Amino acid sequence: MAERLDTFPRLLLEHARVRPASPAIREKDLGIWQSFTWSEVAAEVRALACGLAAQGFQRGMNLAIIGANRPRIYWAVAAAQCLGGVPVPLYQDAAAAELVFVFQNADIAYAIAEDQEQVDKLLEIMPQCPKLKHVYFDDSRGLRNYAQPELMSYASLQAIGREFDARNPEFFLAEVEKGQASDIAAMFFTSGTTGTAKGVVLTHQSLITAGRTGAEMEGLTPSEEVLAYLPPAWIGQNIFSYTQPLVVGFCVSCPESAATVMTDMREIGPTYYFAPPAVLEGLLTQVTIRMEDAGWLKRKLYHYFMGLARRVGARILDAREPVAVVDRVRYWLGDLLMYGPLRNVLGMSRVKLAYTAGEAIGPDLFVFYRAIGINLKQLYGSTETSVFVCVQPNGAVKVDTVGPPVKGVEVKVTDAGEILIRSPGLFQAYYKNPEATAEVKTNDGWFHTGDAGYLDPDGHLKIIDRAKDVGKLKDGTLFAPKYLENKLKFFPYIREAVAFGHERDMVCAFINIDFDAVGNWAERRNLAYSGYGDLAAQGAVYELVRGCVEKVNADLAADPKLAGSQIHRFLVLHKELDPDDGEITRSRKVRRRFVAERYKVPIDALYGGKRDCYVETQVKFEDGRTGTIAATLKIVDAKTFPAAAARRAA
């Protein structure tokens, strides 16, 4: 039987057979966690698939799925796969205009939408996407009076399906039987940091192999708990909340709303957790804010025990290097008083395994979580590789590498320093885009990641940066922008940073303050401000940021290779970098080239030695309108340190 479990529908039916009464997926509805067992899920998926079939959805067609983490969204993915169709999950916060390309490119005729918000977007783009004829919605709130013939509720669709199933009882299983491991299982549109979106085509085999390899390596069992809180359109979310639960048979919980994730984490107590660095940063910022509001004693305790944790915590977790008995006792006490409660607040008390993926994580941020006893590990991969390429092994985590390649993955580094990958999890092609495919995938199956890095003597992969981003200053010093930005972003007050320096004579940076953290800081100092732009422009805030930048510079000075890339000048942006404005991707990666073009004036001012500059930027509001924000930005010099002196001090 095992060798036949090679497609997602077969895995689903197998779980419904082996563990019919175990919970497969949960959602919090009206304040109560509602569980669906594997057999219930199988029945729901069957009804949905039959409904789609009755409505004319056929093998090979694409089904757009847009919505937050809800069981019905995941069932839609499975239903499309049962029929040999291709689910195309889309970012729920994408603006209508961004969706047009996907719908046109993938000839999408059927779509499943979560609620009124998504339905409105689909109705808006319908004139430009004449092929879109069927939209099914899950939550009918606000949609009662919509009369468009294209609309139907998810429940009605399932009712049609049940009727269809009763008339054609053989149909569903026959369709599942037709499925092959080499069929396309899903398509993920990635915008990337450059250019337009590309549909990454992945087969059942690639996703399942990647999910299975990861699960075997980490020893995942059906008793794991996972909270699905990231956008379903992200490959990582699919792997952890769809692929691996189906491969292993564990339960996924969907939070009540995006705002309740922290509470839901504590209630569910996931054992397996994953988060892009931005989320981990956000959590740390919250902790820091709360600690600063805490009483004197708590603050003292926190700083003392965090200092201890940074020194010995990771070593104790790894059980690699010896730790003095007195430090062990101290750490044990710290665990009782500080780390345990802190893990509890973060909802991570039961976490056995946590991954961070999606982007490079700043070392300080990474060490923070490991120091308080959370087994956070870096995972390297991309949509094109079904995520799993390299994973840091338990007990041998090196902060600056992403670990050795996982089983079945071959990694090689070109002379130019680019990382190439060959693995069973590799994508088939970019949808309808052979040129783009040929650009990154060679005939013998090697994928060009576009990342620069090397394998260290232990066989761990070290990523330096995106190959095209790594540059050199005019004097030849290495310039790795992401490295600098991550160092800056470790400070709770800095949410985003963009460093410039390639072919320049010094490094300069844009800073985005963290509105919550700086706002809180300002309130404690009785600084009045009216909004983000006003706060960002305050002199005191500039001083605060300057302090952070100078600390980074002092750190950089200690590393002879990087001492030259200290940040000489910076400015604080008047608006947050926003995916709606195209400045960062939906997964929060800075789109450098775009930012460099859009903010040419302030960049020129940074390098032109000016004290301030006037900028006007167009912004898109959430409801799709556009407007302009104008501000005069101050430019400030930061102190830099001579390389040698800092080394002596350290």
Partner 1 sequence: MQSQRKIGAPVLVVEGVSLSFGGVKALQDVSFDVRKHEVRAIIGPNGAGKSSMLNVINGVYHPQQGRITFKGETRSDMNSHEAAAMGIARTFQNIALFKGMTVLDNIMTGRNLKMRTNFLQQAIWIGPAKREELEHRRKVEEVIDFLEIQHVRKTPVGRLPYGLQKRVELARALAAEPEVLLLDEPMAGMNMEEKQDMCRFILDVNDQYGTTIALIEHDMGVVMDISDRVVVLDYGRKIADGTPDEVRGDQKVIDAYLGVAH
Residues that bind partner 1 (CB under 8 A): 29-32, 141-142, 144-147, 256-257, 259-260, 263
Distance CA 250, CA 247 (A): 8
Residue 36: CB minimum distance to partner 1, A: 19
Beta carbon nearer to partner 1, 147 or 166: 147
**Residue 618 · residue 526 · CB < 8 Å:** no
Beta carbon nearer to partner 1, 123 or 601: 123
What is residue 600's three-state secondary structure? helix
Residue 262: CB minimum distance to partner 1, A: 9
Phi, psi (rounded to 5 degrees) for 66: -135, 120
Beta carbon nearer to partner 1, 267 or 550: 267
Distance CA 54, CA 76 (A): 15
Distance CA 592, CA 449 (A): 18
Sheet holding 225-227: strands in order across?
32-37, 23-29, 251-254, 225-227
Q: Which H or E element spans position 461?
A: strand 461-466
Distance CA 412, CA 419 (A): 6
Residue 139: CB minimum distance to partner 1, A: 10
Beta carbon nearer to partner 1, 230 or 572: 230
Residue 266: CB minimum distance to partner 1, A: 11
Beta carbon nearer to partner 1, 120 or 555: 120
Beta carbon nearer to partner 1, 347 or 425: 347
Residue 622: CB minimum distance to partner 1, A: 10
Q: At what angle do helices 154-167 and 38-54 cross, to 10 degrees?
A: 90
Residue 222: CB minimum distance to partner 1, A: 29
**Residue 206 · residue 252 · CB < 8 Å:** no
Distance CA 108, CA 103 (A): 5
Beta-sheet pairing, 198-203 with 429-430? antiparallel
Distance CA 369, CA 365 (A): 7
Distance CA 241, CA 239 (A): 6
Beta carbon nearer to partner 1, 119 or 187: 119
Residue 148: CB minimum distance to partner 1, A: 11
Beta carbon nearer to partner 1, 32 or 416: 32
Residue 347: CB minimum distance to partner 1, A: 14
Beta carbon nearer to partner 1, 262 or 554: 262
Residue 32: CB minimum distance to partner 1, A: 8
Cα–Cα distance list, 597 to 602, 604, 617 (Å): 10, 11, 12
DSSP of 24-67, one letter per residue? Answer: EEEEEETTEEEEEEHHHHHHHHHHHHHHHHHTT--TT-EEEEE-
**Residue 49 · residue 75 · CB < 8 Å:** no
CA 616 to chain centroid, in Å, comes to 30
